A and B are shown apart, each in its own frame.
Chain A
Amino acid sequence: MLEEALEHLVKGIVEHPDEVVVRDRALRRGRILEVRVHPDDLGKVIGRQGRTARALRTVIGAIEGRAVRIDLVEAPGYR
């Protein structure tokens, strides 16, 4: 559910929603939601001084009831 919620939030704000992929990765250090976006959208999901990334973390953390690590990365294969 959580990765679906994050995917919805990100798809709604980017220029290339079809390229958004969210992976829920359970690592030894804990859970990470990794969001891949089109390279042109990376700046958008991070936002000025990381504002948008922070907003995503705040809302997803609120839904989960505790802090969730979210990594925002470029989808591979573009450059």
Chain B
Amino acid sequence: MTESAVEAEQAVSAEQNEDELTRLEEEGEIAADYLEGLLDIADLDGDIDMDVEGDRASVSIVGAELDQLVGPNGEVLEALQELTRLAVTRETGERTRLMLDVGGHRAARRAALERLGVETARKVKETGEPVKLAPMSPFERKMVHDAVAAAGLRSESEGEEPNRRVVVLPV
């Protein structure tokens, strides 16, 4: 390939990244409007932060009294994320993988799962025995798999939803 062709290709790819970013930012804005409307009506205090994390739009509601929007095991948060994704899709016509967080719940859960992954990997290295973890959602399992991989071990998932669980394997 000639040098100018390489440059042209790089320019196209930069433009695609730019388009992708704009699209994710737009998703975040639609989601923020939808959620802000709900907070106003329900008279709940909360600010909305928007971000793009990797290939996903990420929207967080931050504020003091938001426990009711998280719910037991984060079930209200999951429900709200589901509705928010539908609202985004209605506007854009495209599926979205937008992530919603409320009161830092998901961020705290993610940190705990990372610690669990690292801790379990250490135990498996010590004993040479596989360890099965408690059942988790697909998103939570991914957090653990990633932490285990970063610690240099392999893991897989076994069982059927909703009882599917991570197994950390010895070398």
Tell me which of B78-86, B119-127, B149-157 binds A.
B78-86
Interface of chain A, helix or strand or loop or mixed? Answer: helix
Residue from the list A1, A14, A54, A59 in contact with B43, Cβ < 8 A: A1
Write the chain B residue with the least CB distance to A12.
B87
Chain A residues with CB below 8 A from B87, complex form: 12-13
CB pair B41 A58 closer than 8 Å: no
Chain A residues with CB below 8 A from B76, complex form: 58-59, 62
Chain A residues with CB below 8 A from B75, complex form: 58
CB pair B42 A56 closer than 8 Å: no
CB pair A8 B90 closer than 8 Å: no
CB pair A12 B90 closer than 8 Å: yes
- The reply on A23 being an interface residue by CB < 8 A is no
CB pair A63 B82 closer than 8 Å: no
CB pair B83 A52 closer than 8 Å: yes
Residue from the list B34, B41, B80 in contact with A4, Cβ < 8 A: B41
Residue from the list A4, A56, A65 in contact with B83, Cβ < 8 A: A56
CA distance A9 to B90 in the complex (A): 12
| 17 A–B contacts, CB within 8 A, in A order | A4-B41, A9-B38, A12-B87, A13-B86, A15-B90, A51-B82, A55-B78, A55-B80, A56-B79, A59-B83, A62-B68, A62-B69, A62-B71, A62-B76, A63-B42, A63-B68, A65-B68
Knowing that A52-B83, A55-B83, A59-B83 touch, tell me 20 more A-B residue pairs with CB under 8 angstroms: A1-B41, A5-B42, A8-B37, A12-B34, A13-B86, A44-B86, A52-B82, A54-B79, A55-B79, A55-B82, A58-B75, A58-B79, A59-B69, A59-B76, A62-B68, A62-B69, A62-B71, A62-B76, A63-B68, A65-B68
